[in-house]
Each structure stands twice: as C-alpha cells, then as structure tokens.
Homo-oligomer: A and B are copies of this chain.
Amino acid sequence: MATWLLFLVIKKRFFLKMNTRDDIYMRMALEEAHEAFLNDEVPVGAVVVCGDRVIARAHNLTRTLHDITAHAEMQAITAASDFLGAQYLKDCTLYVTLEPCLMCAGAMAWAQIHTLVYAVRDTKRGYSLISHYPILHPRTQIRHGIFADEASRLLVSFFEKKR
C-alpha cells in the first residue's frame, strides 16, 4: 500500500513537472506567435529546448522573407542545429503553437527530434492527416493540446482581420 502511494506521488510530481515545463515553453512559443501577428505574419511560434536550455526561438516569416518555407518550425530547427553545431536534435523538444505541416514534420523526422509538443491541431494541413504512415521519427514522443485555445484564438483573429 505504501509502495503504491509512493508510486502515485512520484507519478503526480512527474506529470506536474512535465506540465509546468510544457506551460513555460509553450508560453514562449505563444509570445513568438504574437510577434508574428504584430508583423502581419500567420501567427505561429516555435521554441526548441535542450535539457533546461532554450536554444532556439522563432516565428513564421514567410511574408517578410518572401519564402514559403520560412515556417516557425523550420527556422527553429535550423537555429537549434546551428547552436549545437549538429544535424540531429535527438535530445531536444520542439514546442510549436500549431500542429506541424508535412514539410515541417518531415524536417523533424530528419532531425530525429526527441519530443514534439504542439498546441492546436491543424485540421487542414497538419501532418496527422496521414494516419497510417510514420511521418515523424519512430522514437519521437508527441504531446498536444497545451494552450490550444490561446493558439487557436490568435489564428482566428489573424484570418478574420485578413477577410
């Protein structure tokens, strides 16, 4: 009984810790998305964390750079790789406010990202629309739904403004 209680306490602490970390870093990704919004870019933000260190922050810059590949995730992966001087991000977690598209998920597969955390699902262009093919690396862990409402509200505001 005591062992069982101890297990429950550890499990709760572990999840609390994970949630707190996810909250902190997804909040940063949302700040990046806000920055994109202010610059008239589709408001998506991303953060790469390695251990307890934020090694890259980025937001969507497709209009600013006239480059459709300049999604937040692509730039975050490039910046993180540059920081580490390594092609693979096997010990890193990528936080992003919108579910990655196929291009970005493909990049994450190549980078062998350890964990992907995204806020809101992209029901039109999200990589999970392809359900029976392993788009991400088989070892990549996935969590989603953190700050989904906030991320979604920002996107809805942006596209309403554009109409």
Contact = CB atoms under 8 A, between A and B. Distances in A.
Contacts of A88: 68
A108 B105 CA distance: 14
Nearest to A86: B66
A88 B84 CA distance: 32
Size band of the A side of the interface? 20 to 34
Interface stretch (A25-33, A73-81, A143-151): A73-81
Contacts of A103: 102-104, 106-107, 109-110
A87 interface: yes
Nearest to A106: B103
Interface string A45-82: 00000000000000000110111111000100110011
Given A130-B130, A133-B130, A87 B106 contact: no
Contacts of A110: 68-69, 101, 103
Nearest to A80: B67
A105 B130 CA distance: 14
Interface in A123-143: 129-130, 133, 135
A116 interface: no
A92 interface: no
